[in-house]
A and B are shown apart, each in its own frame.
Chain A
Amino acid sequence: DTEVTQTPKHLVMGMTNKKSLKCEQHMGHRAMYWYKQKAKKPPELMFVYSYEKLSINESVPSRFSPECPNSSLLNLHLHALQPEDSALYLCASSQDTGKTQYFGPGTRLLVL
């Protein structure tokens, strides 16, 4: 089983809202990732968690705040987003960093 689940599938939020994206995997993977993907572009890495600790932050604005409560769960907290943050947000996991990454279906975010 190589399933990564993400909720919600779609999200519409205003620039003053606070919302969270959730990602879950039950494969025993110890590395989890957040990516942002704009239309017709490849995914861009945002954050990497390894053994529940943040190991990479790709200079992401502080209005995006990741959290890894346990080895199966990864959240992305959103606050005061801009319309240009509208995108597909993808979560991925792998056995360890450097191993094959498996992606979830994504959350399509629209910021109004």
Chain B
Amino acid sequence: AQSVTQLDSQVPVFEEAPVELRCNYSSSVSVYLFWYVQYPNQGLQLLLKYLSGSTLVKGINGFEAEFNKSQTSFHLRKPSVHISDTAEYFCAVSESGNTGKLIFGQGTTLQVKP
């Protein structure tokens, strides 16, 4: 069965510092990978996705992620964070077989401090 592990439940960081949110997945087949962001009292917004092709994926708001098949990882990075990046971040993998199921990690709370 597929699963997603977000290794950090909370990541505190100062404004303008770089950040990495870690995500590992387990799957024996090809997968689609996603990062979503959820601001307080809002729905989920797609940050970026990996479907195929280049392993470095650029998303909105200056975020990027790198797909590493050998390490089954899809870590999210931003070189310089802003206060407005404070939110919950979810990594997700699309279940094989095109069922429509997304398997989410438990989420990482990014807390950007001034």
Q: What is the interface of chain A, defined by CB distance below 8 A to chain B? A: 2, 4, 6, 31, 33, 40-43, 45, 48, 50, 55-56, 90, 92, 94, 96-98, 100-106, 108
Which among A45, A94, A104, A108 has the greatest number of chain B C-beta atoms within 10 A?
A45
B49 x A100 contact (CB < 8 A): yes
Give chain A residues whose Cβ lies under 8 Å from the Cβ of B106.
41-42
Which of chain B's residues have a CB closer than 8 A to the CB of A6?
43
Contacting pair A90 B100 (CB below 8 A): no
Interface size class for chain B? Answer: 20 to 34
Residue of B nearest to A105 (CB): B43
**Residues of chain B whose beta carbon lies under 8 Å from any beta carbon of chain A:** 32, 34, 36, 41-46, 49, 90, 94, 97-102, 104-107
Q: Is the CB of A45 within 8 A of B42?
A: no
Closest 7 CB pairs of A and B: A98-B98, A97-B100, A42-B104, A103-B44, A105-B43, A103-B43, A48-B100
